[in-house]
Structure formats: C-alpha cells, structure tokens
C-alpha cells in the first residue's frame, strides 16, 4: 500500500509501450485518468445494466443442465468478451477473434514468451483498429467506442495510438481478470456453505459486492502490478535501490496475516476496508464499477438458473503470473443429492 500510494518515489513508467492511463505518472496521469473515469460513472453503468443483464441471461440459458461445464472456459471467458463487446458497441463477429486473442494472451503471459506477447499485442491492435476506423468523424453518440474515438475532453481529439492504448487497457485489463474472477466466484458458490443464500439476498448491493470481493481477495485473479523505483528508499525494512523494477504482489498483500486475521477466513464485512482486489492509490482500478456490475448480473443469472451449483471434478489452478483457476468443472444441481 505504501508503494501504490507513493507515486513520487514509485513510477508507473515501466513499459516501453504507450499505456494509457496505466503507464503515466503525476499530472499527465491525472489528465488521462479524468478522461477515463468519465466512462465509468454511476449514470454510465445504469445505462449499460439492461444490456449487461441480457448478455448474462443469454449465456447462462445456453449452459448445459444435464452435464458439467467449465466455469472459466464455458462461462467466464465468453461472458467477459460478450459483456465487454456489448459495453463498447463492438459487433458479435469479433467474439471469436477476441476469445482466440484472450486464450493466446493468457498462454503468452503464463510462459512469459516476449515474442509471443508482442505478436498477441499486434493481433489485438488490428482488432481494435477495425472498430476505430468506421467511427472516425462520428458524433460520439453511437456507442462507447464512438464516444472515445471522438472524445475532446482533453481540449483536443485523441491520436489513433492513444485510442488503441486506452481500448487495449479496457479490454486487456478486463477480459483476463474478469474471466478468472468468474471462475473464482463460481468455485466459491460451489464450495462455500451459505454463500449462495447471502448472494440471493438482494436487499443490499453493497453487501453483495463485499461478498464477491471477499471471494476475490482469497483467490486474487489480478496478481501483480509493476513500478519503477525513482529514489533509493526502504519498504518495511527492505532497502530498494533507485532504478529497480519491482512488483506489487496484490495476491500476497490480500492475505497479509497482520491485516487479515486469519487470512483464510471468509469475512466480507470485516475485511472490506482493507481489500486490495482493485488496487489502491492513484492507479486504483477505474473499471471497478463495470466489473462489479458484470459480476452482479452474472451471479444473479446463475442463481436464478438452479437451486445449487456443485463441483463436478477437481479445479485446475492458474499459475503465477496469473491467478485464480484455469478451469473449474461444475454443474447445476436441481435437487440435493
Ligand atoms: C475483476 C476484474 C478486475 C480486477 C480484479 C482489476 C484489478 C485492477 C487493479 C489491481 C488495478 C491497479 C493496478 C496498479 O496499481 O498498477 C487496476 C487498474 C486498472 N484497471 Fe482494473 N480490474 C478489473 C477490471 C477492470 C475493468 C472492467 C476495466 C475497464 C474496462 C479495468 C481497467 C483498468 C485500468 C485502465 C487500470 C489502470 C488505471 C490507472 O493506471 O490509472 N479493470 N485494475
């Protein structure tokens, strides 16, 4: 938390690629961050909610009732892609290329293969440029992508590379984390006694979100972020030299035994204030309202589909630098067995 909240000593300028707003510091970050935040206001989320609900219901309706399915591959990944495409106004034909891109990106992240990562980034940029081009010169009202392409809130229009970078971070940040988050939440629904009852109670959205985020704290899908040390300093007794690249391990911080006591206990109310699933400081996740909305709608659709969700085999864990599960076999259960 000290590092994330001290941008003067710990810079986000760590990648040689343009990353908006992630890779910026200081005033420049604040300007781009203000632009980005306008897309995640309560009003913007309320406008998207019906479409998000429709995506969640349609996908859950198509899940098999008589055999197991994988909560990540059959549900999390397609839901993340479809919900995001619906939010951005992207055509359904892009679903397959986006799913292929997501799978290739997760694989390249797992192996850390730089060449593969660069190839995957290029294939994604081609997808993004195909949605940007037809919106050039629009009036910004067609959809969220049109609004961004024609955004002049910085006092000027955005360059092509800036638009692509922002969209890359909205999708790159979202699709992988959200697909994994769905796996974590469904796994918790299948294994954690009393969670389904808690989530069926629709009287408090805040309590619902806290329960979901406590599941994510325990199995953090967003494992780490990077920073560059600008000034020699010390963190928790550990000396850090200027110029070093360091990693903020959110998953470990989310299980800090000095803060969460004991770290493995499921305590949504007690742990909410210290939960770091969406980060902290100036780079705290701007997409949190959208991620919350999407998870809420999907969980409601799942809970409406059957009285219970049961594990149908052993889940396979993801490996760092990814978190959560690679696969979670589950099935709908219509009567207690
Ligand atoms: C369950 C889903 C998600 C999780 C767990 C998550 C987690 C995080 C975390 C921990 C950070 C802080 C990174 C840092 O300090 O360096 C972050 C930043 C960010 N997230 Fe998310 N996120 C999620 C969904 C989304 C969504 C839906 C979007 C947008 C559509 C998004 C876009 C971003 C962006 C652009 C940043 C960088 C913000 C900045 O540098 O100012 N994320 N996210």
Token pair 């349609």 in the structure block, residue: 58
Q: Long-range contacts: 227-232, Cβ < 8 Å, 24+?
A: 227/3, 227/4, 227/10, 227/11, 227/12, 227/14, 228/10, 228/11, 228/12, 228/13, 228/14, 229/9, 229/10, 229/11, 230/8, 230/9, 230/10, 230/11, 231/8, 231/9
pLDDT at position 15: 87
pLDDT (average), residues 15-31: 94
Question: pLDDT-based confidence at 28, cuts 50/70/90?
Answer: very high
Closest residue to atom 7 of ligand 1, CA basis: 278
pLDDT digits (tens, 9 = 90+) for 262-303: 999 999 999 999 999 999 999 999 999 999 999 999 999 999
Atom of ligand 1 nearest to the CA of 166: 35
pLDDT at position 336: 59
Separation of CA 335 and ligand 1 centre (Å): 39
Separation of CA 315 and ligand 1 centre (Å): 25
pLDDT (average), residues 47-68: 98
Separation of CA 199 and ligand 1 centre (Å): 24
**162 exposure class (CB count in 10 Å sphere: 0-12, 13-18, 19+):** middle
Question: pLDDT-based confidence at 124, cuts 50/70/90?
Answer: confident
Average model confidence (pLDDT) across the chain: 94
Question: pLDDT-based confidence at 337, cuts 50/70/90?
Answer: low
Separation of CA 304 and ligand 1 centre (Å): 29
Tell whether the model's pLDDT for residue 26 goes beyond 90: yes
pLDDT (average), residues 117-129: 85
| pTM, entire model | 0.96
Q: Tell me the best of 10, 15, 90, 173 to mutate to test the pocket of ligand 1, counting ligand atoms within 8 Å of each CB and taking the most.
A: 173
Alpha-carbon gap, residue 100 to 130, rounded angstroms: 16
pLDDT at position 317: 96
pLDDT digits (tens, 9 = 90+) for 126-146: 889 999 999 999 999 999 999
Question: Which CATH number is 18-213+283-313 given?
Answer: 1.10.630.10
Atom of ligand 1 nearest to the CA of 280: 15
Separation of CA 308 and ligand 1 centre (Å): 31
Answer whether 17's CB lies under 8 Å from 23's CB.
yes
Closest residue to atom 30 of ligand 1, CA basis: 170
Domain boundaries, the chain: 18-213+283-313
Question: Which residue ranges have their beta carbon within 6 Å of ligand 1?
Answer: 4, 21-22, 33, 169-170, 173-174, 177-178, 181, 221-222, 225, 250, 277-279, 283, 285-287, 290-291
Taking CA atoms, 220 is separated from 160, 185, 188, 207, 276, in Å, by 33, 11, 12, 19, 9
CA angle 277, 75, 283 (to 5 degrees): 25
Closest residue to atom 20 of ligand 1, CA basis: 285
Tell whether the model's pLDDT for residue 331 goes beyond 60: yes
Question: pLDDT-based confidence at 219, cuts 50/70/90?
Answer: very high
Q: Higher pLDDT residue, 94 or 46? A: 46
Q: Tell me the best of 285, 289, 295, 321 to mutate to test the pocket of ligand 1, counting ligand atoms within 8 Å of each CB and taking the most.
A: 285
pLDDT at position 173: 64
Atom of ligand 1 nearest to the CA of 226: 16
pLDDT digits (tens, 9 = 90+) for 163-190: 999 998 898 767 889 999 999 999 999 9
pLDDT at position 104: 85
Separation of CA 140 and ligand 1 centre (Å): 24
pLDDT digits (tens, 9 = 90+) for 69-79: 999 999 999 99
pLDDT at position 99: 86
pLDDT at position 248: 96
pLDDT (average), residues 72-100: 93
Separation of CA 63 and ligand 1 centre (Å): 28
Separation of CA 284 and ligand 1 centre (Å): 7
Tell whether the model's pLDDT for residue 159 goes beyond 70: yes
Separation of CA 233 and ligand 1 centre (Å): 27
């Amino acid at each position: 938390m000290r590092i994330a909240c001290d941008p003067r000593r710990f810079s986000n300028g760590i990648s040689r690629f343009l990353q908006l707003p992630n890779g910026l510091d200081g005033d420049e970050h604040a300007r781009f961050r203000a632009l980005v935040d306008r897309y995640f206001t309560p009003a913007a989320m309320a406008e998207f909610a019906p479409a998000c609900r429709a995506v969640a219901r349609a996908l859950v309706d198509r899940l098999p009732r008589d055999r197991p399915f994988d909560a990540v591959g059959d549900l999390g990944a397609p839901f993340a892609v479809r919900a995001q495409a619906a939010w951005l106004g992207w055509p359904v034909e892009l679903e397959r290329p986006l799913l292929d891109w997501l799978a290739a990106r997760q694989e390249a992240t797992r192996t850390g293969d730089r060449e593969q990562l660069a190839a995957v980034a290029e294939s994604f940029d081609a997808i993004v440029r195909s949605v940007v081009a037809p919106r050039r010169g629009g009036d910004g009202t067609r959809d969220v992508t049109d609004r961004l392409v024609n955004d002049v809130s910085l006092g000027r229009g955005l360059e092509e590379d800036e638009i692509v970078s922002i969209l890359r971070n909205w999708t790159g940040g979202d699709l992988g984390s959200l697909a994994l988050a769905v796996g974590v939440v469904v796994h918790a629904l299948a294994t954690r006694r009393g969670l389904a009852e808690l989530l069926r109670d629709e009287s408090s959205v805040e309590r619902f979100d806290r329960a979901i985020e406590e599941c994510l704290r325990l199995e953090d899908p967003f494992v780490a972020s990077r920073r560059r040390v600008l000034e020699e300093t010390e963190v928790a007794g550990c000396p850090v030299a200027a110029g070093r690249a360091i990693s903020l391990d959110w998953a470990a911080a989310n299980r800090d035994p000095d803060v969460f006591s004991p770290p493995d206990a499921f305590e949504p109310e007690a742990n909410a204030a210290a939960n770091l699933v969406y980060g902290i400081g100036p780079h705290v996740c701007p997409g949190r309202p959208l991620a919350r909305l999407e998870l809420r709608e999907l969980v409601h659709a799942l809970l409406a589909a059957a009285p219970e969700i049961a594990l149908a085999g052993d889940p396979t864990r993801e490996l760092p630098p990814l978190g959560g599960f690679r696969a979670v076999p589950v099935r709908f259960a219509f009567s207690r067995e």
